[in-house]
Amino acid sequence: MVDVTALGARVASSAVAPLVRRLFVRDGPGAGLVDRPVRISALVSFRSEKRSVTPRDVDKVAGELVRRALTAVGPGERPVDAAEAPAVKAALARTLARLGEITIEDYEAVGLGPERFARELRANVPLSPYGLGEDGLLLYERVLHTASLHILNFLTQRSTYVARQQTVQTQQLAKLVQAVDVLLERLPSQSAEDAGFEERYADHIAGRYGTLTIYGLDAGTREWPLDTAYLSLEATRARSGREDGRRDTEYPTVAAEQVLAGQDQVFLRGVAGSGKTTLVQWLAVTAASRAYDHGLTHLIGRVPFVLPMRRIVRPGAELPFPGDFLRAVGCPVAGEQPPGWAERVLRARRGVLLVDGIDEIAGDRRAAARRWLRELVRAFPGNLWLVTSRPSAVPEDWLAAEGFGERVLARMSQDDVTTFVRRWHRAADAEPATGESLLRSVRTTAELNRLATNPLMCGMLCALHRDRRGFLPQDRRSLYEAALTMLLERRDRERELHDSDEARLPYAVQVQLLQKLAWWLIRNGRQEMDRADALRIIGRALPALNLADTGDEEVYRALLLRSGLLREPAEGRVDFLHRTFQDYLGARLAVQEMDFDLLVNHAELDDWEDVILLALAHARPREAEYILRRLADSGPARGTLLAAAGLRYVAEVEPGVRERVEDGLRAHIPPVDFEAAREVARAGGDLVLGLLPGPEEVDPRTAARVVHTAVSVGSDAALQFLRRFRDHPGSGVQQTLAAAWHGFDRDQYAHEILAHLPRQWAVGVSTADDLRTLRSLGGWEHVHVRGAYRVDDLTELIVAERLVHLTLDAAHPVEGLAWLSAFPGLRTVTVLTETDAAAVRQVPDAVKVQIASPGSSSQPQG
């Protein structure tokens, strides 16, 4: 037997639409689309003197709909007995005949939507005479729902009045019809065993990845629903060193969840805590949701495979192939998987393979991981691939030969931080005023502003701000120290957790043991360890910690259950909840053990960067000076820049050492290209601003790189520095300044920088407040709309007379463009997302259209 609920999705619109049209009277010669409501019963003639549609026609349409639904299933699979099919057809015909009886008008029907409209048709149609069993009734309901969807879609195509009155509903219906067709292409006839397993697997994905861990709620952590917690960030393509500073139009900035919309294979880089794993979860849950109204047609009908590298890479073991994916990640339904199911999914090009954390495996295993990816991509082409990593773990274009395009997950903008903080306080049932107080502190304190760059750090700031009643640490080391105190000491005490069956470990003992585990992982280039190794490390430490009478198992369990920092991702394995805490704790022990040379000798490795910086924060002045001198004199640029970054972490530095580090940084100023500009800004922060030349000291190309450096610093001091360049005539400078708006306070940047720039450079907007701010400046010539938008906001808030160029970089397919006629001066519109051909035809004749979906070149359309 086949799953009857799937039958509605098994009949393509190309099959249903012609049948639906046969239910309605054909318009006579000269008939046009109507601009007023029409009663549906007037469009059919089952009972009137006009006999172009007869009851026999309705009976034939019903029979054909049922027949197509039955033949859409796999060979030998029948959802109902052969004797019951005529009864289903008869019941459906009687229901469709209700089209000639109902009194509602066309726009009212569209407003109901397909489900409620189907119920309207069913009203007053008794089904008992037809003797339908459970499967027969379910088949009747699914086919009626499919017919209702296409009936309403037909009405919107027939009547401009309906389309105008029910714009949103019309778009949703068109999207549903498209989704049905996309699903049909990707969902070949399946056995009942495969279909049933996929449903159970989808439920597992929703349960496993449908929540996020949020730090600090209830003075610890709490699971937060993903659909509430997910924050859409931007993914950009790293600039390729172009002197004009412009983005590569082939790979525009997109919402992170859209990275797979225009390219099948993406390698995504992002710093620790930037949201890479959260994005993986969101894509997995969305693909498995069996929902079709999210606008992400590339995910419809797909099957996600979440593959955390730290889980699937085992010492001495081969990387898994598709049939072993679920078992390798410890999926509880792996044993129910039908033989060959994963391979069938991938051969049908329905897979979404989410490979998370290339940086979390040892460097000597990364070459093997690349070969593994290459073999899988070649063996199963046409699937979607997302591979994530920290920024410098592997070289640029590491997977380019395998067909992967590279993206970088952007730091949170000011608006992103605002959204996150407000959501966090709502979830914590905290006073809104508390969140607003935190936002004021973040905006006005340079160090806090630097810290609030990703969801992890923002969550920690929120937790500590509430926990300390508004008092916040002002540097990274103090922030982590306060977080540890909250998680390791205050949480149990304040919640009065006194369990006599478990060891209660003093705060200092917990920290010392966690440090030893963290430093072992770092020194061995590992992200997780065997439980036996953890017990051995703990056991060796117990005598010195005056815990010799306490068993290593008991201490291990206390750390696992009470610290909030350790977890067991799989049976017999243990790791830290987040790499940030591992780096912090490992750095503490490195300083205690005086392993300074070991730290400097690993300065070239990305995995050690945060460890070295945090070690500088822990070190005493002489120790810190030794590390800084070694880094500054190490030769490679990375050591010099790391020393410059380390100055911010050291409280006391001998002037000669500081001068040596600054001289090393000065050698990289002005930066030679835009990539170097970002590296210098990341390393030096505000220190770089005092070393950068002014606008009168450099040529236009160098000026663009100088401005890009200050933009990358992103602080209030950087904004003041940029004021000196706002009247610079160089096009690269002007374009970089126009594009940097969202890295700073919106209103301040608009009035201190944007107001002084020529209006032709593209300025990005993502909210109605952005549009209002541009309106307060008198409007703008080139507006780049990023993410979801409301047409009413664009037409009401953009100064119509000023707009010349419009770019739509939407989070959903563009389905209508007739509203562009509201802008009399508009000359070009560029669309960087999926676009319906019908929408392109709606553009006014005077406007040139360019379609430049991500991953494809711009192509003029008119």
Residue 583 has a pLDDT of: 92
Residue 728 has a pLDDT of: 93
Q: What is the pTM of this model?
A: 0.56
Question: Pairing mode, if any, of strands 384-389 and 405-409?
Answer: unpaired
Tens digits of residue pLDDT in 798-828: 999 999 999 988 656 666 788 888 999 999 9
d(CA 99, CA 144): 13
Q: What are phi and psi of 508, to 5 degrees?
A: -60, -35
Point out which residues pair with 354 in neighbouring strands: 306, 386
Omega within 30 of 0 (cis) for the link into 322:
no
The yes-or-no verdict on residue 325 having pLDDT over 90 is yes
d(CA 396, CA 393): 9
How far from 460 is each of 189, 445, 483, 486, CA to CA, in Å? 49, 16, 7, 10
Q: What is the Cα gyration radius of the chain?
A: 31
Residue labelled with tokens 């797909």: 302
Contacts of 422 (CB under 8 A, 6+ apart): 432, 435
Residue 33 has a pLDDT of: 47
Least confidently predicted of 282-286, 488-492, 693-697, 824-828:
488-492
Residues 199-410: name the CATH superfamily.
P-loop containing nucleotide triphosphate hydrolases (3.40.50.300)
Confidence grade of residue 751 (pLDDT, cut at 50, 70, 90): very high
What is the mean predicted confidence (pLDDT) over 325-335? 92
8 A C-beta contact, residue 713 and residue 743: no
Residue 9 has a pLDDT of: 44
8 A C-beta contact, residue 114 and residue 152: yes
Range 475-496+504-591: architecture per CATH: Orthogonal Bundle (1.10)
8 A C-beta contact, residue 247 and residue 239: yes
Q: Residue 198: which H helix or E strand, with range? A: helix 192-209
Tell me how far apart the terminal alpha carbons of the chain are, to the nearest angstrom: 51
The reply to whether 475-496+504-591 shares the fold of 199-410 is: no
What is the mean predicted confidence (pLDDT) over 377-384? 93
What is the mean predicted confidence (pLDDT) over 411-440? 84
How far from 245 is each of 116, 675, 688, 708, CA to CA, in Å? 53, 11, 20, 8
d(CA 622, CA 625): 5
Point out which residues pair with 267 in neighbouring strands: 387, 406
Tens digits of residue pLDDT in 515-530: 999 999 999 988 888 9
d(CA 510, CA 514): 6
The yes-or-no verdict on residue 79 having pLDDT over 80 is no
Q: How many CA atoms are closer than 13 Å to the CA of 270, on its beta-carbon side?
A: 31
Domain boundaries, the chain: 4-187, 199-410, 417-469, 475-496+504-591, 672-744, 759-862
Point out which residues pair with 211 in neighbouring strands: 225
Tens digits of residue pLDDT in 657-710: 999 988 888 888 888 888 888 888 877 777 788 888 899 988 999 999 999 999
The yes-or-no verdict on residue 28 having pLDDT over 70 is no
d(CA 779, CA 797): 9
Tens digits of residue pLDDT in 530-587: 999 999 999 999 888 877 677 888 888 888 876 768 877 667 788 887 788 899 999 9
8 A C-beta contact, residue 193 and residue 320: no
